[in-house]
Amino acid sequence: MREGRIPGYHAERVLEAVRRFRANWMHYHRPEDVNQLLRLFPAVHLPRGFILDYLPVGGVETGWIFPFARREAVTSGESTMPPALAAMERDRLASKRGSGELRRMEVEHLYSHLTYDPTPTGLFEYGFFISELWATKSASRARDWLDLEPIFTRRQFDAVVRAARQVTRVIRPEVCDPMGRLASGGGGQVEFIVYQGAAWKRIFQLRLTIEADGGVRREPGELLANLG
């Protein structure tokens, strides 16, 4: 397994670009919004001639998107949507969220087209990008990601702790640079520190597991501070 730190300044630049995108995504039309997001992650790639697109599912308040990759150039009268998605009613697609069948469609129509540089930085950018892509225009279904505030420097860590009204436990890390570990069979793990506000008010290590087929799972790791 190959591992290494992602420089905090690089991670901060990515995060600031994502924040600007979140603040302005409503100014982009489909599918320019998701392709603009992809441009923020230079270590993540689509094949030449392909772009990202998505299928909106549900309403404005509770809706989400199903992203997929497609050829940029289409002939007159040709659908831009993969036949399997075009043939599936959106209500049926919504009912399959989280199912094995939908996961297979994610792999076939999205993950199989995406690649990333085989470096810790490439793994970090891919895991961050996939998490952000599924959160785009899907706030009601992605609060577990959108409510997290990544911390990439000790300066940020200390500022969050100082701002807390109550501190019951703190483990100050020696470094806050994200860690990436590439698995020999593909995929790997990325860990970085996040602050979770609202009712939680805690700082912990977030673990992103990037599967060999391209899927990304998120789970909490070591608790570093209780601030509630």
Widest distance between CA atoms in the chain: 63
Of these ranges, 82-96, 136-150, 192-206, the one predicted with the greatest mean pLDDT is 192-206
pLDDT at 221: 96
> Is there a cis peptide before residue 31, judged by omega within 30 degrees of 0?
yes
Nearest to 109 by CA among 24, 13, 208, 214: 214
For residue 38, give both structure tokens: 């992809």
DSSP secondary structure letters along 67-124: EEEEES---TT--SS-HHHHTS-HHHHHHTTTSHHHHHHHHHHTGGG-EE-SSHHHHH
Return the domain boundaries, the chain. Answer: 2-226
For residue 95, give both structure tokens: 């009912």
Task: Summarize pLDDT for 41-62 with one digit per residue, the tens.
Answer: 999 999 999 999 998 887 656 6
pLDDT at 138: 82
Chain mean pLDDT for the chain:
90
Residue carrying the six token digits 């994502």:
18
Rounded to whole angstroms, how far apart are CA atoms 57 and 66?
A: 7
DSSP secondary structure letters along 21-77: HHHHGGGSPTTHHHHHHHHT-TTEE--TTEEEEEEEES-TTT-EEEEEEEES---TT
Mean pLDDT of 219-225: 96
Instruction: Name residue 198's amino acid.
Output: A
Looking at the predicted structure, is the pLDDT value of residue 79 above 90? no
Residues 180-209 as b or e (16 or more Cβ within 10 Å = b): bbbeeeebbbbbbbbbbeeeebbbbbbbbb
Rounded to whole angstroms, how far apart are CA atoms 87 and 108?
A: 15
Query: Is there a contact between 206 and 220 (Cβ–Cβ < 8 Å)?
Result: yes
Mean pLDDT of 63-76: 84
